[in-house]
Amino acid sequence: MIKVHKAKKKPSALISDKTIKWVERALQERKNHKARNHIYGEETIRKLLRSIYSDKCGYCESHINPSHSYMRIDHYRPKGRVRENSEHPGYYWLVYEWSNLISCCEVCNMEKGDSFPLENEKDRLFQPQKNMAEWKADSLSFCSEKPLLLHPEISTPENHLKVSICGEIREKNGSIHGKESINICKLNRRGLILNRKKAIDGIRTELKKTALSIKRDIEKGQINEENFLDTVRERFLSEFKLLKMMQNPNKEYSLMGKNMLKNFESFFIETLPDGDPKDILIKAFALFFEPDSSPLK
For the chain, the maximum distance between any two Cα atoms, rounded to a whole number of angstroms, is 82
Instruction: Give DSSP secondary structure letters for 105-169.
Output: -HHHHHHHTT---BSSGGG---S--SSGGGGSTTSHHHHTT-BSS--TTTS-GGGTEEE-TTS-E
Picking from 112, 122, 176, 181, the residue whose alpha carbon sits closest to that of residue 152 is 181
Q: Model-level pTM greater than 0.85?
A: yes
Picking from 88, 151, 79, the residue whose alpha carbon sits closest to that of residue 123 is 88
Sign of CA dihedral 140, 145, 148, 152: negative
* Tens of pLDDT, residue by residue, the chain (297 residues): 999 999 889 999 999 999 999 999 999 999 999 999 999 999 999 999 999 999 999 999 999 987 666 899 999 999 999 999 999 999 999 999 999 999 999 999 999 999 999 999 999 999 999 999 999 999 999 999 999 999 999 999 999 999 999 999 999 999 999 999 999 999 999 999 999 999 999 999 999 999 999 999 998 989 888 899 899 999 999 999 999 999 999 999 999 999 999 999 999 999 888 877 899 999 999 988 875 544 434
Convert the pLDDT of each residue in 125-148 to its tens digit.
999 999 999 999 999 999 999 999
pLDDT of residue 276: 75
Which amino acid is located at 215 in the chain? Answer: K
pLDDT of residue 58: 98
Question: Could you state, in order of their start, the residue ranges of all structural domains in the chain?
Answer: 12-188, 191-289
Convert the pLDDT of each residue in 178-235 to its tens digit.
999 999 999 999 999 999 999 999 999 999 999 999 999 998 989 888 899 899 999 9
pLDDT of residue 273: 81
pLDDT of residue 67: 64
The CA distance from 294 to 286, in Å, is 7
